[in-house]
Amino acid sequence: MSKTEKNPKSNADQVTTSDHKEYTDASLQSIQIAYGNGGVRGLLGSPYILGAAWLASLGGFSFGYDQGVISLILTMKQFHAQFPETAPDAPHYGFDVGFMTGMLELGAFIGCLFFPYLADRISRKWGLSVATVIFCLGAIIQTAADNYDTLVAGRFIGGIGVGTLAMGAPLYISEIAPPNLRGSLLVLEAISIVIGAIVAYWVTYGTRDITGDWAFRLPFTLQMVPAMAVGSMIHLFPYSPRWLAMRNRSQESLQALATLRRRPATDETVSLEWKGIVTEVRFQKELVKSQYGDSGAVMTELKQWIAIFRPKYLRRTMVATAIPFFQQASSGPIFSKTAVLTQA
């Protein structure tokens, strides 16, 4: 009997290889796993995985579009006529515009907090579909809004959905991507955010001269198109092999991985990668159990959030939050709102 079997309460660091010996040697070799070339040549040589990653990255497109679309809409006279609180001569113009704009970010923040639990429970794919439904609900409310309060509510609900989409996309991409293409495929999400903002600027530029409410309602409506594409068409592709392994569906995980790699399940490289995934998932479960016990899924999730602010992890947490914070605090987001600043 192994040391782990004798002492089930042992630390996760002491989880020995004897329990999963058939997987461990393979996991140590995972750094050697590669499916051909990397970079652009590798992407072009893997159209199936590129298509899946590109589709998932449309969640980032929706996030960029939703951020960018409000910029020029806020300068439209048609919008000011419908929502006088947003007109430059309104008594509380600065607060009302800032509050309405910021509700999207608040919603996105809340959506990001809940997505990890949702994705672990119902899968990455269905998590994206749920996020799509929430986002489209917010978009419909924004499109149909006839007063300021309804518009703010729509922005908040849409923010929950779009924040969840933007977080779910890189998670799904990272778990379906082959090791030699993972970095290149993850870049798609960042590129999609930028492209989404650019498209939003040109769409609102094209609709600004439309007479009546559709000058701003049409751009609000169009934001649902890429989101619905993600939520529906993502089911044409397999579940994340890692998620299937987390749900103790190991054989389905192997088949999903083989489908993604366009190789038979008996392929040596596919088998090697799959064994590495299964081993890592098992180790993570032992680690979580040793640190948090059998607290239940919700309580374990809360404890993990609390843990990142403990002294042991605080420095890493600060680095992880400082990078995006200062990126957003740079001139980029400010210049993206040039139209609003000029109007003010």
> Cβ of 147: how many Cβ atoms within 10 Å?
11
Task: Give 341's pLDDT tier (boundaries 50, 70, 90).
Answer: very low
Domain contains 333: no
Under DSSP, the state recorded for 92 is: T
pLDDT, residue 224, reads: 93
Domain contains 142: yes
Q: What percent of the chain has pLDDT over 90?
A: 47
Length of the chain measured in residues = 344
Q: How many domains does the chain have?
A: 1
pLDDT, residue 10, reads: 39
User: Which region, left, alpha or beta, applies to residue 294 given φ > 0 means left and ψ of -120 to 50 means alpha?
Assistant: beta
Domain contains 121: yes
Higher pLDDT, 157 or 293: 157
Rounded to whole angstroms, how far apart are CA atoms 52 and 233? Answer: 9
Instruction: Specify the pTM.
Output: 0.82
Rounded to whole angstroms, how far apart are CA atoms 30 and 244? Answer: 19
Task: Give 46's pLDDT tier (boundaries 50, 70, 90).
Answer: confident
Domain contains 6: no
Rounded to whole angstroms, how far apart are CA atoms 238 and 236? Answer: 7
CB-CB contact of 100 with 138 (8 Å): no
What is the arithmetic mean of pLDDT over 211-229?
93
Question: Which domain, by its residues, includes 221?
Answer: 39-307
Which of 19-33, 91-105, 206-220 is least confident? Answer: 19-33
Tokens describing residue 312: 């042991």
- Element spanning 246, H or E: helix 241-246
- Determine the straight-line distance between the first and last CA of the chain, rounded to whole angstroms: 73
Q: What percent of the chain has pLDDT over 70?
A: 86
pLDDT tens digits for 262-283? 999 999 889 999 999 999 999 9
Domain contains 76: yes
Higher pLDDT, 4 or 249: 249
Domain contains 32: no
Complete DSSP assignment for 48-77 = HHHHHHHHHHHHHHHHHHHHHHHHHHTT-H
Tokens describing residue 104: 């999207």
What CATH number does the domain containing 209 carry?
1.20.1250.20
What is the arithmetic mean of pLDDT over 187-216?
91
Task: Give 138's pLDDT tier (boundaries 50, 70, 90).
Answer: very high
CB-CB contact of 60 with 166 (8 Å): yes
Nearest to 168 by CA among 242, 250, 261, 230: 230
What is the arithmetic mean of pLDDT over 199-207?
92
pLDDT, residue 333, reads: 59
Cα-based distances in Å from 12 to 2, 23, 85, 242, 302: 14, 17, 57, 20, 20
Cα-based distances in Å from 209 to 200, 215, 296: 15, 7, 55
Domain contains 270: yes
> What b/e readout covers 96-106, taking b as 16+ CB neighbours within 10 angstroms?
bbeebbebbbe
Tokens describing residue 291: 């640190």
Task: Give 252's pLDDT tier (boundaries 50, 70, 90).
Answer: very high
What is the arithmetic mean of pLDDT over 226-248?
94
Domain contains 206: yes
Cα-based distances in Å from 11 to 22, 25, 69, 343: 22, 21, 51, 60
